[in-house]
Amino acid sequence: MTAPAYDPDNIFAKILRGEIPSFKLYEDADTYAFMDIMPRADGHCLVIPKTPCRNVLDASPEQLAAVMKTVQVMAHAVMKAFGAGGVTLQQFNEAVGGQEVFHLHFHILPRHEGVALRPPGKMADMEVLKAQAEQIRAALG
């Protein structure tokens, strides 16, 4: 089956162009990391490539490699920032695979023993998110 074309007006493309705000955590030449606004755990963040692709299915090996490198950086940072014992990575492909925003992204979710992920879809308090972003940036050193 042919995948639909990349939509340059998806919300993460708008974030990359600075058209809508985000709580930036980290960037390098190829990737950008920011807070998820509906966090399923404290410190839930997202890593995206700066160049367009919908998901893992149409990403180039170079885009995947760059994103995974930043995923590892952010996994260490959120674990340190929140004293987490581990991280869960989530990544969805196409609507039927659970994807809602069609620009490749990996979710990084810090985890604590016995603490379940919160249900999806609840907007964060922006002041709390801002403070948590500062905590993560500090952990990045």
Question: Are 120 and 98 spatial neighbours (Cβ–Cβ below 8 Å)?
Answer: no
- Residue 93 beta carbon to ligand AMP: minimum distance, rounded to whole angstroms: 9
- Residue 85 beta carbon to ligand AMP: minimum distance, rounded to whole angstroms: 22
Question: Are 87 and 108 spatial neighbours (Cβ–Cβ below 8 Å)?
Answer: yes
Question: Are 130 and 23 spatial neighbours (Cβ–Cβ below 8 Å)?
Answer: yes
Per CB under 6 A, the segment of 71-79, 81-89, 95-103, 111-119 that binds ligand AMP is 95-103
3-state secondary structure of 138: helix
Choice from 13, 36, 48, 79 touching ligand AMP (CB under 6 A): 36
138: Cα separation from own chain's centroid: 18
26 binds ligand AMP (CB under 6 A): no
What are the catalytic residues?
105
Per CB under 6 A, the segment of 68-76, 79-87, 91-99, 108-116 that binds ligand AMP is 91-99
- How far is the CA of 86 from the CAs of 25, 75, 112, 137, in angstroms? 19, 8, 7, 18
Closest to ligand AMP by CB, 77 vs 99, is 99
The secondary structure of residue 82, as a DSSP letter, is H
Choice from 31, 63, 70, 99 touching ligand AMP (CB under 6 A): 99
Which uninterrupted H or E stretch holds 124?
Answer: none
42 binds ligand AMP (CB under 6 A): no
- Residue 59 beta carbon to ligand AMP: minimum distance, rounded to whole angstroms: 14
First to last CA, the chain: 44
The secondary structure of residue 75, as a DSSP letter, is H
Residues in a beta bridge with 78: none
Choice from 51, 80, 92, 93 touching ligand AMP (CB under 6 A): 92
Binding site for ligand AMP (CB under 6 A): 11, 22, 36-38, 92, 98-101, 105
